[in-house]
Amino acid sequence: AFDVELARSAMTLHVPAGKTILETMRDNGLTVASSCEQGACGTCLTGVIEGEVDHQDVYLNKTEKASNTCIMTCVSRAKGERLVLDI
Ligand code: FES
């Protein structure tokens, strides 16, 4: 489990082990676009401002993953205790 701070929405959400960031955002009333929800299509791409991403998708390439500047919120998670997203 980890926390996600949504910089533009001025909200911090707790993401439990069994839920995705995308699900957690929806549970909290946010409207977020998605399609495949399997880390393949790119629809849920979100900017990362702070924190290290545990990439679980097959959409971003190696370089993009290493840049730690974006995340697919339908499958990927935080490596640490907190992420700050540009949403
Ligand atoms: Fe398709 Fe996240 S919804 S990659």
Structure token pair of residue 36: 């495949």
- Please enumerate in sequence order all residues whose Cβ is within 8 A of that of 23, keeping only pairs 6 or more positions apart, or say none: none
Query: What's the average model confidence in pLDDT over 72-83?
Result: 98
Q: Distance from the CA of 11 to the center of ligand 1, in angstroms?
A: 22
Q: Distance from the CA of 10 to the center of ligand 1, in angstroms?
A: 23
- Please enumerate in sequence order all residues whose Cβ is within 8 A of that of 71, keeping only pairs 6 or more positions apart, or say none: 21, 45, 46, 48, 53, 55, 83, 85
- What local confidence, expressed as pLDDT, does residue 28 receive? 97
Structure token pair of residue 66: 């290493």
Q: Distance from the CA of 38 to the center of ligand 1, in angstroms?
A: 6
Structure token pair of residue 67: 């840049």
Please tell me if the CB atom of residue 51 comes closer than 6 angstroms to any atom of ligand 1: no
Note the pLDDT tens digit of each residue in 13-65. 999 999 999 999 999 999 999 999 999 999 999 999 999 999 999 999 999 99
Please tell me if the CB atom of residue 25 comes closer than 6 angstroms to any atom of ligand 1: no
- What local confidence, expressed as pLDDT, does residue 4 receive? 98
